[in-house]
Amino acid sequence: DDAFIFPDASFEDSFDFSFSGVKTAAINAYRRIERQIEREEGTWPHNLSCQDFAASFQKAIVNTLVNHTERALDATGYTTLVIGGGVSANRCLRDNMEDMAKRKGIALTIPPLIYCTDNAAMIASAGYFAWRSGRRAGSDLDATAMARLEDIDNFLTISVS
């Protein structure tokens, strides 16, 4: 998970953070690899895998969430932490939060996975069927927080025969 180094999403002396820089760094790293593949008419570099890319990105996000949570606990003196929502289904985040909680001696509550999911399964299903029908999104796809599922065709611009 150190194959790619992504920036820290933190703002100094603040509990604020932004993942836009991490996202931009990931997109730029991916595009550099795409250009290298095009130039060399090759494949993904043998010394780096897609899994390395994903693990490095995940590490940057998880580290930010854990570090900010730890700083907030220190600042407030709270001894109990509850994590919920879709992000709490991430095994790496759960493990790192558990390690931090044990190290600090605080109580941690994370619901069972069945209660941590959100609409990701629905979105994944829609994406699967779009992929199966040959519809793809370009690498310039950007997140649209309030997009409606009915508008999926607006985002899938590349047809594959």
DSSP string, 105-142: T-EEE---GGGT--THHHHHHHHHHHHHTTEE--TT--
* Distance separating alpha carbons of residues 134 and 131, to the nearest angstrom: 5
The domain ranges of the chain are 1-74, 79-117, 120-159
Average model confidence (pLDDT) for the chain?
81
pTM for the model: 0.64
Q: What are phi and psi of 31, to 5 degrees?
A: -65, -35
Confidence of residue 20 (pLDDT cuts 50, 70, 90): confident
Q: What are phi and psi of 77, to 5 degrees?
A: 80, 5
* Distance separating alpha carbons of residues 152 and 136, to the nearest angstrom: 10
94 in helix, strand or coil? helix
Is the per-residue pLDDT at 91 higher than 80? yes
Confidence of residue 161 (pLDDT cuts 50, 70, 90): very low
- In which residue are the tokens 């700083």 written? 71
Strands (DSSP E) found in the chain:
80-82, 107-109, 135-136, 158-159
With beta carbons less than 8 A apart as the criterion, state whether 106 and 73 touch: yes
What is the percentage of the chain residues whose pLDDT exceeds 90?
A: 25
Average pLDDT over residues 44-53: 76
The bridge status of strand 107-109 relative to strand 80-82 is parallel
Confidence of residue 7 (pLDDT cuts 50, 70, 90): low
